[in-house]
Amino acid sequence: MEDNICLDTDFLVNFLRNKKEEREFIWNNEEKSNLATTYINVFELFYGVYKSNEHENNVKAVRELINRLYILNLSEESSRKAGEILARLEKEGNTVDFRDLLIGVIALTNNFSIKTNNIKHFSKIKELIIL
């Protein structure tokens, strides 16, 4: 799974903001790994863009970035797995952001690890490898 890496929204936003760690990670992994994100992350990026005052320039930057990535989609398998995990979490008295649950499960069912700074939410998906 380390060759298949799904990039979370927080990571992608930092990349777009020219943060050194994220830039170097992409530079070091772009050739040797399959870098992806999900359509949920794409939604979150565009949502953030349209909340900003400079959305025209930011839309272009987001489009350029997502064109470099493989985009993972929600499937019946990932929907089933998300339902299973959410039911388990609720029985345990845990909650998780719905979008993070879907992002994590989409990555998991497509055999991708996830690169995120939001370890608290994604660690609730026990089978998911977090980088």
- 131 pLDDT more than 90: yes
pLDDT tens, 82-93?
999 999 999 999
- How far apart CA 128 and CA 130 sit, in angstroms, is 6
Instruction: Pick left, alpha or beta for residue 28 (phi over 0 → left; psi -120 to 50 → alpha; otherwise beta).
Output: alpha
- Looking at the whole model, is its pTM more than 0.75? yes
* 42: nearest Cα among 54, 26, 59: 59
Helix (H, G, I), strand (E, B) or coil at 12: helix
Q: What are the residue ranges spanned by the domains of the chain?
A: 4-122
- With 0-12 / 13-18 / 19 or more C-beta atoms within 10 angstroms meaning exposed / middle / buried, residue 9 is buried
pLDDT tens, 39-69?
999 999 999 999 987 777 899 999 999 999 9
- 2 pLDDT more than 80: no
- How far apart CA 109 and CA 80 sit, in angstroms, is 10
- For the segment(s) 4-122, the CATH number from 3.40.50.1010, 3.40.640.10, 3.30.70.1560, 3.40.50.10860 is 3.40.50.1010
